[in-house]
Amino acid sequence: MNPAAPTHPIARLPEEWRTSLAARGERAFAAKQVFDWIQKRGVVDAAAMSNLSPKLRAALAEEGLSPGLCVPEQVHRSSDGTRKIAVRLRDGALIETVLLPSLTAPGAPANQEADDDDDDAEQHGSSPHTRVTQCISTQVGCAMGCIFCASGVAGLKRQLGAEEITAQVLLGRSLLDEGEALRNVVYMGMGEPLHNYEATARSIRLLTHPDGIGLSTRRVTISTSGLVPEINRLGEEFKGQVALAISLHAADDTTRSALMPINRRYPLAELMKALHAYPLPKRRRITIEYTLVAGKNDDVAEAKKVARLLRGLPVKINLIPMNPIDASTLGPPSFGRVGAFQQVLIDAGYSCFVRKQRGDDVSAACGQLVLIGAKPKVKGFRPAQES
Ligand code: SAH
Ligand code: SF4
């Protein structure tokens, strides 16, 4: 972090509050109060922090603790309960965050459709709440250039600060319906989280801090296109507790490099080495995301390569038929080809699911996020002609 740039109040950890407020001559208790206001109560306007002195409120407002950091511009609600929130940032940039309620009835045993924690005994309890997963963005646009992705085609506009990443969750939580509880946060919105490592790691520390939102670290999932040094660093710094989702999309370097330029920098052998070294806790698995693009990575020969490549790694595989985007003529394979691909992986002994697109009617599928000047076109899974 740049020491010249003070951490934004929303991104400050309790120990940093203690230091910064002590330097102002404030009592230690004030640090606890401010962190509580922001992270627990979701209040990001210093003027509303009624138990602080007027002097401190004014100083915090001066440091940026005032409304306007992350403003919900539009909330689109889909018939399946998914909410897509277009968020306006201070500089006018637009990002998106998505709330995805579990599709199971509150208290019912979790199933695969509901969320990814199918191996988590806690999920089988009788929580009275509808569990909500929030998908958040880490960048405006993305530098990785994957050819099937709207964010990649647009390029990187700028990084998000840790305060902007965290504020999406504070906002999302404030928009929950009665009876809903935020359980999982997935870094699968716009951008490559590990290309914004410092801000991403800080936001994880904030979201999982017990005095704040208090998410369980293993309910935080980082999705990455495969930045190997940062995967290693994440594994070390969070001791493997942060859940990992890898955007694989191909099991040979030629196919993968054609879809995802990052593969030229970190080819499959290096990526696999990092995944085998990731200090995954017992009984946890790495999620493998595989976007199926018609004619590019969807034949059974590729599925067999995937089966070979992943041998020995604890994984669950999510197949995602590609959502068409305006900037490209690429699209999803037919139902038949998706099914054949899945069958190869099931026959090879893997847990392999086809992800249903959620919130299609409001363009809310993760990875399909709105960009300034680029209208996303999300149609969900429309089968092409059977071939
Ligand atoms: N940059 C990270 C996280 C954001 S993308 C990553 O790549 O993992 C989240 C997921 O959406 C990725 O698995 C990505 O491959 C997928 N995705 C992007 N564009 C898509 C599209 N048009 N159709 C289906 N999935 C897409
Ligand atoms: Fe970036 Fe992920 Fe899109 Fe690739 S798929 S361009 S890494 S957001």
Residues 3-36: tens digit of each pLDDT: 556 799 999 999 999 999 999 999 889 999 999 9
Q: Reply yes or no on whether the pLDDT at 92 is more than 70.
A: yes
With a 6 Å cutoff on the Cβ, whether 144 touches ligand 2 is yes
Residue where the block lists tokens 């009984």: 283
pLDDT confidence bin for 379, thresholds 50/70/90: very low
With a 6 Å cutoff on the Cβ, whether 294 touches ligand 2 is no
Q: Reply yes or no on whether the pLDDT at 298 is more than 70.
A: yes
C-alpha span between 223 and 187 (Å, rounded) = 6
Task: Tell how far CA 121 is from the center of its chain.
Answer: 23
Maximum alpha-carbon separation in the chain: 72
Sign of CA dihedral 302, 240, 273, 165: positive
pLDDT for 172 equals: 97
Question: Quick one: average pLDDT of 183-188?
Answer: 97
Q: If you average pLDDT over every residue of the chain, what do you get?
A: 88
Question: Quick one: average pLDDT of 35-47?
Answer: 97
pLDDT for 105 equals: 58
Which amino acid is residue 136, in one-letter code? I
Ligand with an atom nearest the CA of residue 331:
1
Question: Quick one: average pLDDT of 347-367?
Answer: 74
Question: Quick one: average pLDDT of 153-171?
Answer: 96
Question: The CATH number of 70-362 is which of 3.20.20.70, 3.40.50.300, 3.30.70.260, 3.10.110.10?
Answer: 3.20.20.70
Ligand with an atom nearest the CA of residue 247:
1
Distance 188 CA to ligand 1 centre (A): 7
Residue 184 near residue 219 (C-beta atoms within 8 A)? yes
Residue 301 near residue 295 (C-beta atoms within 8 A)? no
Distance 367 CA to ligand 1 centre (A): 4
With a 6 Å cutoff on the Cβ, whether 289 touches ligand 2 is no
Percent of the chain, pLDDT > 70? Answer: 84
- Global model pTM greater than 0.85: yes
Residues acting as catalytic residues: 96, 366
List the single range of 118-122, 206-210, 235-239, 307-311 with lowest mean pLDDT. 118-122
Q: Give the mutation target among 136, 138, 148 for probing the ligand 1 site: most ligand atoms within 8 A of CB.
A: 148
pLDDT for 109 equals: 47
pLDDT for 364 equals: 43
**3 state SS of 227:** coil
Q: Reply yes or no on whether the pLDDT at 285 is more than 90.
A: yes
End-to-end CA distance of the chain: 52
Distance 245 CA to ligand 2 centre (A): 13
**Strands, DSSP E only, in the chain?**
70-77, 83-89, 94-101, 130-135, 139-140, 158-159, 180-187, 220-224, 243-247, 286-292, 315-321, 351-354
Q: Reply yes or no on whether the pLDDT at 107 is more than 80.
A: no
Atom of ligand 1 nearest to the CA of 189: 4
Sequential DSSP letters for 254-299: HHHHHH-THHHHS-HHHHHHHHHHS-PPTT--EEEEEEE-TTTS-S
Q: Give the mutation target among 224, 247, 371 for probing the ligand 2 site: most ligand atoms within 8 A of CB.
A: 247
pLDDT for 78 equals: 87
- HSE (side-chain half, CA atoms, 13 Å) at 151: 29
Q: Reply yes or no on whether the pLDDT at 220 is more than 90.
A: yes
Distance 128 CA to ligand 2 centre (A): 36
Distance 111 CA to ligand 2 centre (A): 28
With a 6 Å cutoff on the Cβ, whether 149 touches ligand 2 is yes
With a 6 Å cutoff on the Cβ, whether 142 touches ligand 2 is yes
Q: So where are the chain's domains?
A: 9-62, 70-362
Question: Quick one: average pLDDT of 245-257?
Answer: 98
Atom of ligand 2 nearest to the CA of 260: 4
Q: Reply yes or no on whether the pLDDT at 128 is more than 80.
A: no
C-alpha span between 126 and 106 (Å, rounded) = 8
pLDDT for 7 equals: 93
Atom of ligand 2 nearest to the CA of 195: 7
Question: Quick one: average pLDDT of 76-88?
Answer: 91
Q: Reply yes or no on whether the pLDDT at 88 is more than 50.
A: yes
Question: Quick one: average pLDDT of 137-156?
Answer: 94
Q: Reply yes or no on whether the pLDDT at 106 is more than 90.
A: no
CA-based nearest residue to 169, from 15, 61, 10 = 10
Residue 359 near residue 365 (C-beta atoms within 8 A)? yes
Residue 351 near residue 316 (C-beta atoms within 8 A)? yes
Whose Cα sits closest to atom 2 in ligand 2? 192
pLDDT for 121 equals: 41
Six token digits for residue 256: 């993968």
Ligand with an atom nearest the CA of residue 289:
1
Question: Quick one: average pLDDT of 107-114?
Answer: 44
pLDDT confidence bin for 123, thresholds 50/70/90: very low
Distance 290 CA to ligand 2 centre (A): 12
Q: Reply yes or no on whether the pLDDT at 141 is more than 70.
A: yes
With a 6 Å cutoff on the Cβ, whether 151 touches ligand 2 is yes
* 24-to-30, 58, 199, 229 alpha-carbon distances in Å: 11, 13, 26, 39
Strand order in the sheet with 286-292: 70-77, 83-89, 94-101, 130-135, 180-187, 220-224, 243-247, 286-292, 315-321, 351-354
List the single range of 41-55, 76-90, 271-285, 300-314 with lowest mean pLDDT. 76-90
- CATH code, 9-62: 1.10.150.530
C-alpha span between 206 and 200 (Å, rounded) = 10
Residue with the bigger pLDDT between 344 and 361: it is 344
